[in-house]
Amino acid sequence: MTTTAIPGRRRLHPEANRARAALAELIGTFLLVVVGTAVAVAAFLERETAGPAYDSLAIALAFGLTLTALVGALGQTSGCHVNPAVTLGLAVTGKFPWSYVPAYLGAQLVGGVLAALALWATYGDRARSEAHLGATAPAAGVSDAQAFLLELLIGFLLVFVVTAMATDPRVPPGSAAIGIGFALAACVLVAGPVSGGAANPARALGPMILNLEFPSLLSYVLGPIIGGILGAVVYDRVVAPVEAPEPDVDETEDEPVASAR
């Protein structure tokens, strides 16, 4: 099994805590989606805090800052994928065991649905009837093909950064969380005016399922996944520096265990 690095200080064997890792993915996805979409709903409904209502920048920051915190908090437990595109991209490149993929994908989807449900319960019926629980959809005049292309591009960006910063052991400890959070914020800023900037099928599907509306569904599911797989492959097979062969070591030395990410 391939040895890879995860954000944080510890390395965990992926077979040791499968259920715990999946639970961490559910919690992480829930928190990411509920915080980001709550700010989006508040902006749409023009809910004020100590000043004017939130704007597009606030939405991008909400997603980016939340992901930064979650990578630091959950990276050592599950790798903090919180995104099917990340899980599949890492699995395709051999950075994550396929045996974990079904549990991760299921946990991420459940987390997204529970986040939409929590948002509906706390913000009330207007959050669903008017703001659609922060669901992503192509903007007026934007075709499904345009939305698909942009979701593919931001999926590529996000998973490219994740693969670079969370699987390369030469990346300084602690820097992965910042880089990955910034990448997600950039994705939302770039794609927000066109597709809503999901970059994450679980984030898109959670609100859609409770709304019973699925605009441009393939754009938000296949776009980030295809882009994410391409991003992981490009970094792993094209961009990553080739490492020199390691010298032979005494077989009695401890070998590093494979991490969940």
Helix, strand, coil percent values for the chain (each to nearest 5):
65, 0, 35
Q: Would you give the DSSP letter of residue 98?
A: G
For residue 7, what pLDDT band results from cuts at 50, 70 and 90?
A: very low
pLDDT for residue 186 is more than 70 = yes
Band of the pLDDT at 16, cuts 50, 70, 90?
Answer: low
Question: Would the CA dihedral through 57, 214, 158, 112 be positive or negative?
Answer: positive
- Which structural domains are found in the chain, ordered by start? 18-239 (1.20.1080.10)
The whole-angstrom separation of Cα 59 and Cα 62 is 5
Most confident region among 4-13, 46-55, 81-90, 236-245 by mean pLDDT: 81-90
Nearest Cα residue to 110 out of 11, 214, 7, 206: 206
Beta-carbon contacts of residue 219 (< 8 Å; ≥ 6 apart): 138, 144, 147, 148, 151, 195
Task: Give the pLDDT score at 253.
Answer: 42
Q: What is the pTM of this model?
A: 0.87
**Are 147 and 219 contacting, i.e. CB atoms less than 8 angstroms apart?**
yes
What element of type H or E holds 226? helix 217-234
Q: Which is more confidently placed, 13 or 19?
A: 19
Select the more confidently predicted residue: 52 or 231. Answer: 231
Torsion, Cα of 86, 90, 91, 93 (10° steps): 140
Instruction: Tell me what the pLDDT averaged over the chain comes to.
Output: 88
Per-residue pLDDT at 175: 92
